[in-house]
Amino acid sequence: MTAQSMVARDRLALSNLAVSLVAFALGAVMAVMQSLSRADLDVVFRSPKVYYLSVTAHGVLMGLVFTTFFIMALGIVFVRQCLGRWVDDRWGWVAFGVALFGTLMTTAAILSGTSSVLYTFYPPMQAHPTFYIGATLLVVGSWVWCGCMIASVRVWQRQHRGKPLPLPVHGLLATVIVWLLATSGLAIEALGMLIPWSLGWVETIDPILARTYTWWFGHPLTYFWLLPAYVVWYTVLPRVAGGRLFSEPLTRLVFMLFVLFSTPVGLHHQLSDPGISSDWKLVHTFSTYVILFPSLVTAFTVIASLETAGRLRGRKGWLDWLKDLPWKDPLLVSVVLAMLTFALGGFGGAVNAAYAMNNMVHNTAWIMGHFHLTVGTAVALTFMGATYWLLPRLTDRPLALPGWALAQAYLWFVGMILFGVVNHITGILGMPRRVYSAEYFGAEQAARWQSWTLASAVGGVLLFVSSLIFLVVVVATFLQSRRQAPLAMEFARPLAPPATRRGLWDRFLLWSAVAVVLVVVGYYQPITHLLALERYGSLPFKPF
């Protein structure tokens, strides 16, 4: 295949990647405005209305658009590479078009100032109908992509009966199942509650019931972001490091555990909400701790895989294998720093899920710090490193400014540690989440956190500079005229010979059915109980 035809073949993936990068750029601008505003520094157009508009835009563009389009691009590339074909480009373009149209609708609604309902869009705060309809279309587009992924797998399985899926596709198919399970709750909320309410077809809405559907979707959304990052950690990182994957069966088990346990966990976000029994909150707390286990296994397996790289080069000491890792490779540095940050974020997540400790940090800046250490680094920095790895293979152009790419990853790490850790501290000191000004109407307690918000602002500026460097490297790579011979897209080989027949953890139909049962068990009683209560509903509230 010629270089030109390879680029044409990857046009669909590149289009998805381009949208994700534009969303990332807009989200980064919104982010630095917020960090400066919280520190009470002068920012152009600074006002409560602009601040909460930017909070909404940053959350939606980074959390939903950047991630979803990047994951769709990654799925298309890896399926085409591992299975030899993508089932149908036409449906791939339909998925892209619907998701893009929905994204434009939602973004326009936010930027018009009519939909500052924050990232969680909790009712009774009400957005313009186009906000909800656009977000729904974004999800519908992703469902079409899910259908393409499943159809591609089915075609391959018919041609390779009894064979296990290639590991990258195994991980991405697990991502698809998690996404479908998670968005079923969001679909009920959007179609059954938010859209009719925003159109005026019903007068009131039940905020607690809506929040329950939100967290049916909201927490497993984390794993929709995280699993593709894990695919990179398991299948690309060891190869880049020059090592082998420590255990393929363990990796397949990890992805299936996420399919099983990632969804019935959302009530640990509602530990302070009335109308839901403490028994069910405790059940969801336990299942949240269960889902920590596959992440711990991931940490062990990926570190062991990196160790094999040093051992294969002859290193024998406890830690001197670290010296032989390719520390000038932007992907390796990005992922290693992402893993270090994720360890801190994971500790915070265990605190959030604990019934008693949650009350100390709930809705404080701690949550913001936790979210940025996990999604903002473990996921985002991995995606940036993966972009550096993908671009030369999709465009047949060498990565431009590799030294800048390396510096960008370190700068992101330093900025995020400063931003994230400081927000954990101010959260413990009582600073609420999402405040426009640290002055907080002159409250005496606010004096304790004001100096910390300046440090947080410095972290925000470093992150913004890192974002700009990332975008400069990407654009410079696209624009350079120099071509290179096509690079192979190679994945890590396991230490032991891979299985040749499908095993227990390759049975997606079986485990998906079990996962559906667990979701029904986890949510049937809490939701039917809420529906049976005397409910009065709430009128809409529009702060601006």
Q: What residues are labeled active site?
A: 219, 223, 370-372, 433-434
| Residues forming a β-bridge with 364 | 432
Q: Would you state the structure tokens that stand for residue 507, as one six-digit string?
A: 């049975």
Give kind and range of the element (H or E) at residue 293.
helix 292-312
Q: Would you state the structure tokens that stand for residue 458, as one six-digit string?
A: 């410095």
Torsion angle defined by CA atoms of residues 370, 373, 374 and 379, in that order, rounded to the nearest 10 degrees: 150
8 A C-beta contact, residue 96 and residue 43? no
Distance, in Å, from the CA atom of 155 to the CA atom of 281, rounded to the nearest integer, reads 42
Q: How far is the CA of 508 from the CAs of 76, 154, 256, in angstroms?
A: 19, 11, 8
Amino acid 38 reads R
Helices 450-479 and 11-38: crossing angle in degrees, nearest 10, is 160
| Residues forming a β-bridge with 245 | 494
Q: Would you state the structure tokens that stand for residue 497, as one six-digit string?
A: 């010979």
Of the candidates 285, 431, 264, the residue with the CA atom closest to the CA atom of residue 358: 285
What letter would DSSP give residue 541?
Answer: B
What letter would DSSP give residue 446?
Answer: G
| Residues forming a β-bridge with 494 | 245
8 A C-beta contact, residue 441 and residue 512? no
Q: Would you state the structure tokens that stand for residue 169, as one six-digit string?
A: 């596709």
Distance, in Å, from the CA atom of 197 to the CA atom of 203, rounded to the nearest integer, reads 6
